[in-house]
Protein backbone atom coordinates (compact mmCIF):
# COMPACT_ATOMS: atom_id res chain seq x y z
CA UNK A 1 0.00 0.00 0.00
CA UNK A 2 1.27 3.42 -0.81
CA UNK A 3 0.65 6.28 1.58
CA UNK A 4 1.71 9.52 -0.01
CA UNK A 5 5.40 8.98 -0.62
CA UNK A 6 5.82 6.02 1.73
CA UNK A 7 5.18 2.39 0.88
CA UNK A 8 3.92 0.25 3.73
CA UNK A 9 3.73 -3.19 2.15
CA UNK A 10 3.31 -5.00 -1.08
CA UNK A 11 -0.34 -5.14 -2.09
CA UNK A 12 -1.85 -8.53 -1.56
CA UNK A 13 0.21 -9.55 1.50
CA UNK A 14 -2.53 -11.40 3.42
CA UNK A 15 -0.96 -10.83 6.82
CA UNK A 16 -0.57 -7.07 6.38
CA UNK A 17 -3.89 -6.69 4.56
CA UNK A 18 -5.63 -8.54 7.38
CA UNK A 19 -3.91 -6.38 10.00
CA UNK A 20 -5.01 -3.23 8.19
CA UNK A 21 -8.60 -4.45 8.07
CA UNK A 22 -8.57 -5.40 11.74
CA UNK A 23 -7.00 -2.07 12.74
CA UNK A 24 -9.70 -0.36 10.70
CA UNK A 25 -12.34 -2.03 12.84
CA UNK A 26 -10.53 -0.94 16.02
CA UNK A 27 -10.30 2.65 14.76
CA UNK A 28 -13.99 2.66 13.86
CA UNK A 29 -14.97 1.45 17.34
CA UNK A 30 -12.65 3.99 18.99
CA UNK A 31 -14.14 6.74 16.83
CA UNK A 32 -17.65 5.69 17.80
CA UNK A 33 -16.64 5.78 21.47
CA UNK A 34 -17.62 2.17 22.05
CA UNK A 35 -14.37 0.28 22.45
CA UNK A 36 -12.90 1.65 25.67
CA UNK A 37 -16.04 1.13 27.79
CA UNK A 38 -16.67 -2.34 26.40
CA UNK A 39 -12.99 -3.27 26.89
CA UNK A 40 -13.24 -2.16 30.51
CA UNK A 41 -16.21 -4.47 31.04
CA UNK A 42 -14.32 -7.30 29.30
CA UNK A 43 -11.12 -6.72 31.32
CA UNK A 44 -9.28 -5.94 28.08
CA UNK A 45 -8.12 -2.37 28.80
CA UNK A 46 -4.42 -3.27 28.73
CA UNK A 47 -4.85 -5.00 25.38
CA UNK A 48 -6.64 -1.98 23.88
CA UNK A 49 -3.93 0.31 25.28
CA UNK A 50 -1.21 -1.83 23.67
CA UNK A 51 -3.05 -1.83 20.33
CA UNK A 52 -3.50 1.95 20.43
CA UNK A 53 0.19 2.41 21.30
CA UNK A 54 1.11 0.36 18.22
CA UNK A 55 -1.28 2.41 16.06
CA UNK A 56 0.18 5.64 17.40
CA UNK A 57 3.78 4.52 16.82
CA UNK A 58 4.63 4.33 20.53
CA UNK A 59 5.28 0.59 20.38
CA UNK A 60 7.06 -1.21 17.57
CA UNK A 61 5.71 -4.74 17.43
CA UNK A 62 6.12 -7.57 14.96
CA UNK A 63 3.20 -8.56 12.77
CA UNK A 64 2.93 -11.75 14.80
CA UNK A 65 2.69 -9.78 18.07
CA UNK A 66 0.07 -7.48 16.55
CA UNK A 67 -2.00 -10.47 15.43
CA UNK A 68 -1.70 -11.94 18.95
CA UNK A 69 -2.90 -8.69 20.53
CA UNK A 70 -5.89 -8.47 18.19
CA UNK A 71 -6.69 -12.16 18.78
CA UNK A 72 -6.47 -11.62 22.56
CA UNK A 73 -8.84 -8.65 22.29
CA UNK A 74 -11.31 -10.73 20.29
CA UNK A 75 -11.06 -13.57 22.83
CA UNK A 76 -11.71 -11.29 25.81
CA UNK A 77 -14.53 -9.42 24.11
CA UNK A 78 -16.21 -12.65 22.98
CA UNK A 79 -15.90 -14.18 26.45
CA UNK A 80 -17.57 -11.08 27.92
CA UNK A 81 -20.46 -11.36 25.45
CA UNK A 82 -19.49 -8.57 23.04
CA UNK A 83 -18.55 -10.90 20.22
CA UNK A 84 -15.49 -10.73 18.03
CA UNK A 85 -14.70 -7.08 17.36
CA UNK A 86 -11.71 -7.04 14.99
CA UNK A 87 -12.83 -9.55 12.37
CA UNK A 88 -15.65 -9.61 9.90
CA UNK A 89 -18.30 -12.27 10.19
CA UNK A 90 -18.04 -12.64 6.41
CA UNK A 91 -14.90 -13.44 4.49
CA UNK A 92 -13.87 -12.34 1.03
CA UNK A 93 -12.08 -14.82 -1.16
CA UNK A 94 -10.86 -13.71 -4.59
CA UNK A 95 -11.75 -16.01 -7.46
CA UNK A 96 -9.03 -18.56 -8.23
CA UNK A 97 -6.80 -17.57 -11.10
CA UNK A 98 -7.67 -13.87 -11.02
CA UNK A 99 -4.78 -11.48 -10.80
CA UNK A 100 -5.63 -8.46 -12.98
CA UNK A 101 -3.85 -5.17 -12.55
CA UNK A 102 -4.41 -3.01 -9.52
CA UNK A 103 -5.66 0.50 -10.32
CA UNK A 104 -4.51 3.46 -8.27
CA UNK A 105 -7.06 5.84 -6.75
CA UNK A 106 -6.69 9.01 -4.69
CA UNK A 107 -8.00 8.66 -1.14
CA UNK A 108 -7.37 9.82 2.39
CA UNK A 109 -5.00 7.35 4.07
CA UNK A 110 -4.53 6.49 7.73
CA UNK A 111 -1.75 8.44 9.48
CA UNK A 112 -1.13 5.76 12.16
CA UNK A 113 2.19 3.97 12.54
CA UNK A 114 0.23 0.77 11.90
CA UNK A 115 -2.25 2.06 9.31
CA UNK A 116 -5.75 0.71 9.17
CA UNK A 117 -7.49 -0.28 5.96
CA UNK A 118 -9.92 2.66 5.87
CA UNK A 119 -9.53 4.92 2.83
CA UNK A 120 -12.22 7.63 2.89
CA UNK A 121 -13.03 9.11 -0.50
CA UNK A 122 -11.63 12.54 -1.23
CA UNK A 123 -14.81 13.26 -3.18
CA UNK A 124 -17.07 12.55 -0.20
CA UNK A 125 -14.67 14.12 2.31
CA UNK A 126 -13.11 17.31 0.87
CA UNK A 127 -11.48 17.97 4.26
CA UNK A 128 -9.19 15.36 5.81
CA UNK A 129 -10.99 13.12 8.33
CA UNK A 130 -9.31 12.74 11.72
CA UNK A 131 -7.99 9.36 12.87
CA UNK A 132 -9.83 8.28 16.01
CA UNK A 133 -6.81 6.36 17.32
CA UNK A 134 -4.12 9.02 16.82
CA UNK A 135 -6.07 12.27 16.69
CA UNK A 136 -4.12 13.20 13.53
CA UNK A 137 -5.72 14.04 10.18
CA UNK A 138 -5.68 11.49 7.40
CA UNK A 139 -3.11 12.07 4.65
CA UNK A 140 -3.99 12.53 0.99
CA UNK A 141 -2.37 9.79 -1.05
CA UNK A 142 -2.60 7.10 -3.67
CA UNK A 143 -3.94 3.67 -2.84
CA UNK A 144 -3.47 0.61 -5.02
CA UNK A 145 -6.62 -1.47 -5.16
- pLDDT at 89 (0 to 100): 58
Least confident range from 59-63, 84-88, 99-103, 105-109: namely: 99-103
- How far is the C-alpha of 66 from the C-alpha of 121, rounded, in Å? 27
Interatomic CA distance for residues 78 and 74, integer angstroms: 6
CA 50 to chain CA centroid, Å, is 14
pLDDT at 102 exceeding the cut of 60: no
pLDDT digits (tens, 9 = 90+) for 6-45: 333 434 455 778 888 899 889 888 988 888 888 999 999 9
pLDDT (average), residues 84-105: 60
pTM of the complete model? 0.60
| pLDDT on residue 13 | 52
> pLDDT digits over 103-118, tens only?
556 788 888 888 888 8
In whole angstroms, how far apart are CA 45 and each of 6, 53, 108?
32, 12, 29
Per residue in 25-44, is it b (16+ CB within 10 Å) or e — as a string? bbbbbbeeeebeebbeebeb
The pLDDT value recorded for residue 108 is 86
Amino acid sequence: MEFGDRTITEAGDPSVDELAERFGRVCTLVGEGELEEAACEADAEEIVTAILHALRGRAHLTQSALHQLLDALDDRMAAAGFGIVTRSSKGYQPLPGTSGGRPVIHRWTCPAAQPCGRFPSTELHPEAPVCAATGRPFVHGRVRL
